[in-house]
Each structure stands twice: as structure tokens, then as C-alpha cells.
Structure 1
Amino acid sequence: MHTSQQLNEKKQDPSLKLFVVLAKSYRSVMEQVEKDIQSRGLNLTDFAVLELLYHKGEQPLQKIGEKILLTSGSITYVVNKLERKGYLKRKPNPADRRVTFAVIEEKGTELLSRIFPGHWDKIKELMSVLDEDEKVFAINILKKLGKNEME
């Protein structure tokens, strides 16, 4: 049995408190980012795929899932949908028929060119509660936390 004192100590534990604050912060920021992207006519997943292709160029379908944390079935669905809308196309790899690339089309590039500046402004606005030194500190500390992969 846990005593109320033990539960209170756990609530005050900085590790637990950091976890809760980090989770709530992430959820809050992502909700606002998602709302911004939806106001621009895309959902978060479609935007993530197009944004990856827009900034990094053609990508193997398998790598897209790894980079934006989607299953292969979800990637197929999203790529099919974006291909039907004319935002991207599939390109077979002549050297390896098992590999197919996704390539952003002109219509997709035009869309991202139009919406990305406003989206970037929204992200800057969300992060404006921190000064530049705080942003650099947060980046470094969160990278350190993210690299702590315990088995």
C-alpha cells in the first residue's frame, strides 16, 4: 500500500514532474500546429509527407514512414491520397524494383510554397515565449533527453 506521503513524494519527484510537463507542452504545441495546418487545408500527416519531400527531395516510400513515424500501410494510404490530388507521384527505382520513390509534383511544391511561410510564422509565434538563449538551451537539453534510450 502507498501512503499519502509516498504518493505526495512521487508527485513532487522532478523526473515525474518533468515527464508530465513535457507531455502537456508537446500536446499543447502539437494541437496548435495541427489546427494551423488544418486551417491551411491539409491534415498533419499529409503536410508531414509533403514537407519532407519539399525540403529533402524524393524519398523511398519505406524511408518516409521512418522519418515521420508512420506504418507502411499508413504511408501507402497517404501517398495514394496525395497522388490522386496531384501533389506527388511515385517513381520506380530502375536499379531496384522493390524500391519506389515519392516525388513532389509542381502542384505540391506550389501548395507548400504558399502555405509554409505562414506555418513557419505560426511556429515562431508559438516559440516566442522563449528568448533565443532559452530556445538553444531547450534544444540541447531535449536532444540529451531524447538520446537517453534505455534498454
Structure 2
Amino acid sequence: MDDTPRTLTATELQAYFAFTEVGSLLRHAVEQQLRDVGGLKYVQFQLLARLGDAPAGQQRMTDLADGVVYSRSGLTYQAQVLEQRGLVTRAPSPDDERSTVVTITDDGRAVLAAVFPGHVEALQQLLFASLSDADVDDLARILGRAAEHLRANPPRSATPRRRG
């Protein structure tokens, strides 16, 4: 058995550095737009966007934490901040009193409606403008495959809780 540590090829290293640079630059611009227009942190936007797309505008806290890959306690704090702003409500789940259900409010939908045009514009200008439709298809396929692989052995914050 070969115990020699594996190294990255020059192309793998180039891809990794490009991926992290794009992610950092894009996230910085997106976070700035979300703060300026909606007074939101990125994770708060993710929470509202997931609720906005969810049936009846609600999800269990654990499902939200699993989806946004954020610690459950950290997401609880962010939901509390959004609740204080009147953007979400939290209540015990009617199906399981140990679970909390978060629901987006009309004010939460209004904040999403305010931030989405600038959010989409930032993504189009900063990420997609330099790519062809085929490039975007390839990017979606490649990153989808990587996400699927990472979700096969996720960090605890992304591991769905076992239901008793």
C-alpha cells in the first residue's frame, strides 16, 4: 500500500484557487447588495429565500439549517433576529412539539422582493456575463456533482437529523 500523500495537479490547484477566488469576490458583492438594500446578512437572505420558495412559506428549523449548511444554534439566532424585524414568525410544529416551524411574513416577502432585482443583477454582471449558455450548463452540472459528493458525507450542520 502506497502511503505517499496525494498532491494536487497543477490544473486541480488552478481550479481550486479560481473557485475560491470567484466565491469570495462574488459573496462580497452579494453581501454588500443584501446589506444595502435589505439590511440582511447572507444567511438571513438564504433563510428568507428558502421560506419564500417553500410550500405555505414555512419550514422546520432543522430543515432550514440542513439546507443552508449553518449550525442549528446559529440559524436559531438568525431566525430570532428576523422575527424581531417582523420578517418571519416561529412557532412549535403542529406535528412535533419539539420542532420549531419558521414562516415568512408579508414583510419578509416584501424584503425579498426589494433585494431580488439587485441580487439577480449582481449575479448576472459578476458571474454569468462572461460565460456562454454552455458554460453555465457545464458550471451547473459540475458544481451540482461536487455538491452531491459533499452532501454524501456532510458536516454536522448539513446532516439531516434522524426523526424519532
**TM-score scaled by length of structure 1:** 0.84
CA deviations on 1:2-60 (whole Å, 9 max, x unpaired) are xxxxxxxx786211221111111111111111111112121112111111111222010
User: Is the Cα–Cα contact under 8 Å of residues 93 and 100 in structure 1 kept in the other structure?
Assistant: yes
CA contact (8 A) 1:60 1:102 kept: yes
Measured after TM superposition, the shift of residue 118 of structure 1 is 2.3
Aligned to 2:16: 19
Cα 1:116–1:14 shift into 2, 3 Å: same
Match of 1:49 in 2: 47
**Paired position in structure 1 for 2:144:** 143
* Counterpart code for 1:139: A
1:134 aligns with 2:135: yes
Q: Which runs of 5+ in 1 are unaligned?
A: 1-9
CA distance in 2, matches of 1:145, 1:113: 30
- CA distance, structure 1, for counterparts of residue 149 and residue 79 of structure 2: 33
Question: What percent of counterpart residues are identical?
Answer: 23
Q: Which has the larger radius of gyration?
A: 1
In structure 2, how many angstroms separate the alpha carbons of the residues matched to 1:148 and 1:84? 37
**1:116-131 alignment to 2 at 5 Å?**
116-126=116-126, 127-131=128-132
Specify every segment of 5 or more residues in structure 2 that has no aligned partner in the other structure, as ranges: 1-6, 154-164
Count of residue pairs the alignment pairs up: 142
